[in-house]
Structures are given as structure tokens and as C-alpha cells.
Amino acid sequence: MLGMVRAHLEQLQETLSALKREGVTRVAVSEENLARLRSAVARLQGKSAAAPEKSAEEISVAKKTPGSPAPGRRAEEISPDARPNPERPREPVVFPKISPQEKAASPAKPVPVKAPVAIGKPLPPSPEVVLPEGDKKTRMAWLRERVLGDPTCLEHVKPGKKLVFGTGTEDAEIFFCGEAPGAEEETEGEPFVGPAGELLTKIIAAMGLSREQVYIGNIMKWRPEMPTPIGNRPPTAEEMAFCLPFLRAQLEIVRPKVIVALGATAIEGLLGPDPGRRIGKIHGQWHAFNGIPLMPTYHPSYLSRNGTNRSKRVVWEDLLRVMEKIGLPVSERQRGFFLAK
């Protein structure tokens, strides 16, 4: 029983951590649910159900901030773009259909754990990647071999799982960059093939493109390992530093017209750490990576969690800017996606 309580708390922890990475800073928790959380934490700690206020903070539930919450509710904004409204049922995220094989149901949510600061052995210094001469295909094939044979990368792959190099065309005009492979990705060896990937694929289709016409990569080439068989955590700074030369080399080969940085980790990896560079503030604004225009936007998993037309529109507007930048035709229908009727 306690195991289940712990699993639920860990799941909550991961959801909150993921929201935070996506730029969400506040969530709404009813007094009733807060009491349940306190009681659960107290049970785990072997204390009485009347645990101190601190218990809820320990599992990172929204910090109380000044304001006037609705009666019986700690109503905290998560962002102006994604206002949690517990009274309103969430709409599913629906981007235009792209193929009949899309899965009807998402796989069960993994049980998460708190992200540790560092896991496993310290990593060696970041590798130096010197690309050979040759055309894009030759260089990418060389880089793929280099990454998939890298002893440090290989050390971080669990038996039966795969490193995730990247996919798409070397001639892509748009390079989508995510955070790290998850469970589905390390099984397939391909980025964005799980639930977040399904959504990204729909977004790409809504732009009038296919996965084969763009390039999709990640900051990390391996799935950051967990002390449990399931769950995800964001990469540490050391892990990101180790993998970044590979991503930089991919970008050097592709030289896309635009990079789309999906979520806080991709933004930090490509633009460098900066606490002032919060995604809620900078998404939709052009940045640059090595002279390549870079558009920061929310990670697709943000849309899975905040599937309102409003949040979809926010991401879509960022992507309309990308389409305009590279001269992709934008139909009136596309321009109007997710606008309030």
C-alpha cells in the first residue's frame, strides 16, 4: 500500500518537474487535494495525517504566493498561456490527422522519481568531434557511427535499449531539437516516437511537412538513467555538456534555416543557461545559435498536459513564425488554427 502511495507521489513529482521544465511555475491545488497530499506524505514519513505544511512543499506542490485565491482553493496561475481551470474539463490536443495508424490510446504514464543532481560515475570531458570532409550524407553517416560507438554513450544504455542519434533529412530546413529520449525512444532508437512524438509528428504535419522532410534530434543521445526501471528525469548539466558536441555537429552538417528548440532543456542546451531566459517569456522570439535563427517554443508534452485551444495556439503562433521565416506557404486555414471562433 505504501508502495502505491510512494508511486503516486513520485508520479506527481515528475509531472510537476516536467511542467517546471516547460516553463510552468504555478499550479492549482484544491485544499482538499492538498490535505490528501499532506496525509500521503505523512504516511510515508510514518507521521500522523496532520503533517506540517512543509510536507506538501516537500513534494513541490505550488508554493503559496500572495494573491487572493478562490475560496477553498489555492488558485495559482501556471502561466498566462496555460491557465489551469479545474472547473473546465481539458480538451484533447487535436492537430490535423496525419495517418490512420495513429494510436488511439497513450501508453500508461511512467512512474517517476525525483530528479537526482547526478547519477552514476562522473562523465569524461566533452568529446571533441571533428567532422570529416564530404557531403552531408557522408558526414552524417560518419557522425552516427561515431555517436553509436562512443564508449561513454554506450555505457549509459541499458541492455536491450538503444542510443538515439536523430532522424530526418540532412537537407532539412527545420531542425527540431528536444531534450532526451524517453522509454519508447530508447526502445526504438528513434527520437520522438512516444506520446510527445506523436504530437510533434502532428504538429509537423500541420505545418505541411513530414518527419522525413525535417530533422529531429535531442540534446541527449541516451535516456538519462533512473534508479527505477521506469520514469524520466531531465539531464544534468554534466550530461548535457557531454552530449552537446554531437548535437552541434549534427547542426553543422544540416545547417538548417531554422532551429526549433522544444522546451526548457533544449533552450538551455543551445543558448546556454540563463535563469532570466524563461520559456514563458522568450518563446516566439527569434534567437540565434551559431548564426542560425532559433525559435524557442514549448515542448510537445506541454500541450499534452495543457491541451486547451489557447495553449495550442501559443505554440502554433511560434511555428507560424517559423513557417514564414523559411517561406513555407501558410493557408488561411492554417493561419486560423486554434483561434477562438
Task: Enumerate binding residues for ligand URA (CB under 6 A).
Answer: 178-182, 185, 191-192, 194, 196-197, 218
Question: Could you tell me the smallest distance in angstroms from the CB atom of residue 53 to ligand URA?
Answer: 34
Of 196 and 295, nearer to ligand URA (C-beta) is 196
Of 5 and 230, nearer to ligand URA (C-beta) is 230
Question: Could you tell me the smallest distance in angstroms from the CB atom of residue 68 to ligand URA?
Answer: 37
**Phi first, then psi: what are they for 157, rounded to 5°?**
-100, 130
Of 41 and 110, nearer to ligand URA (C-beta) is 110
β-bridge mates for residue 167, sequence order:
216
Of 75 and 254, nearer to ligand URA (C-beta) is 254
Of 182 and 284, nearer to ligand URA (C-beta) is 182
CB 221 within 8 A of CB 165: yes
Of 181 and 256, nearer to ligand URA (C-beta) is 181
Question: Could you tell me the smallest distance in angstroms from the CB atom of residue 304 to ligand URA?
Answer: 11
Of 51 and 246, nearer to ligand URA (C-beta) is 246
Question: Could you tell me the smallest distance in angstroms from the CB atom of residue 33 to ligand URA?
Answer: 28
Enclosing H/E stretch for 29 = strand 29-30
CB 45 within 8 A of CB 55: yes
Q: How many helices, marked H, and strands, marked E, lie in the chain?
A: 13, 8
The one-letter amino acid code at 175 reads F
Question: Could you tell me the smallest distance in angstroms from the CB atom of residue 262 to ligand URA?
Answer: 6
β-bridge mates for residue 294, sequence order:
259, 287
Question: Could you tell me the smallest distance in angstroms from the CB atom of residue 20 to ligand URA?
Answer: 15
Cα–Cα distance, 65 to 78 (Å, whole number): 12
- The closest of 147, 203, 132 to 174, measured between CA atoms, is 203
Residue, CB closest to ligand URA = 178
Enclosing H/E stretch for 332 = helix 332-335
CA-CA-CA-CA dihedral for 142, 143, 147, 150, to nearest 10: 60
The three-state secondary structure class of 288 is strand
Question: Could you tell me the smallest distance in angstroms from the CB atom of residue 4 to ligand URA?
Answer: 26
What is the CB neighbour count within 10 angstroms for residue 251? Answer: 20
CB 77 within 8 A of CB 85: no
Question: Could you tell me the smallest distance in angstroms from the CB atom of residue 232 to ligand URA?
Answer: 8
Of 195 and 284, nearer to ligand URA (C-beta) is 195
First vs last Cα of the chain: how many Å apart?
48
β-bridge mates for residue 258, sequence order:
174
Q: Work out whether strand 258-262 and strand 29-30 pair parallel, antiparallel, or are unpaired.
A: unpaired
